Each structure stands twice: as structure tokens, then as C-alpha cells.
Amino acid sequence: MAHPSSLIPKGFFLVNAAETVTGDFYAIQVLVAHDATMVVKGSGIFEALAENGSDGSTHHDASTGVVLATTHDAGQYERLSTVSTTLPCIANTIVYGAFNSVTGTANDRFLVYYK
């Protein structure tokens, strides 16, 4: 059995203000949330869409394996990993996910942990 210390994060980036880091990230720790938003790109980010609510370029259609068309049923659809998503953030919280890009805003500070 591996020692639990092997599970402790080994590296992180400090996002200090309006900076962008790219890589293979699994967690974002919010240190300062002055502007209270972050912009991320990644996989596994789902959004509820009304019927025909897609713009035809930002969501994945799991039933066909291609970009979701503008005509579709209402439901939960995954955003493409190349599309920016603005998330609210609160100081002293951690957001987990599969991120490939994280951008802070002018007065925010994040620790972004890479895999």
C-alpha cells in the first residue's frame, strides 16, 4: 500500500491577477475572490440548455459525437473543452475538475494544482 503522502499535490501555479495558465489541472484553490469570477476551459463542464438553445459551436452532442447543432432537445450538454466558461468563485474554496486553462481576473488570486 502506497503511503498517503503520495496523494498530496506536488505542484501548483499561482494565478496572480489577470493571468492565464495552461496545462493539465485538477483543482483550483481560491485565495482571494475580489472580482468573484474565474474563466476556465476543460472537459466535464455541463450546462442546461433549453430546446434549440445552442449556438451551434460551444457544446458537444454525446449522441452523435459531434458539435451540438442549433436544433436539439432541452437537456444537459457538455461544453467543448476549447470553450471558455466563466465560473463564480468564493474565497477559501476549492473547485475540482478537469481543466486545461485557468484565467484569473484583476484582483483575484488562485492556486491551480496540476496532475
CB burial class (10 A; 0-12, 13-18, 19+) of residue 63? exposed
Q: Are 10 and 113 in contact (CB under 8 A)?
A: no
Return d(Cα 55, Cα 32) in angstroms, integer: 33
Q: How confident is residue 5, by pLDDT bands cut at 50, 70 and 90?
A: low
The model's pLDDT over 63-88, given as tens digits with 9 standing for 90+, comes to: 888 999 999 999 999 999 999 999 99
The model's pLDDT over 21-52, given as tens digits with 9 standing for 90+, comes to: 999 999 999 999 887 889 999 999 999 999 99
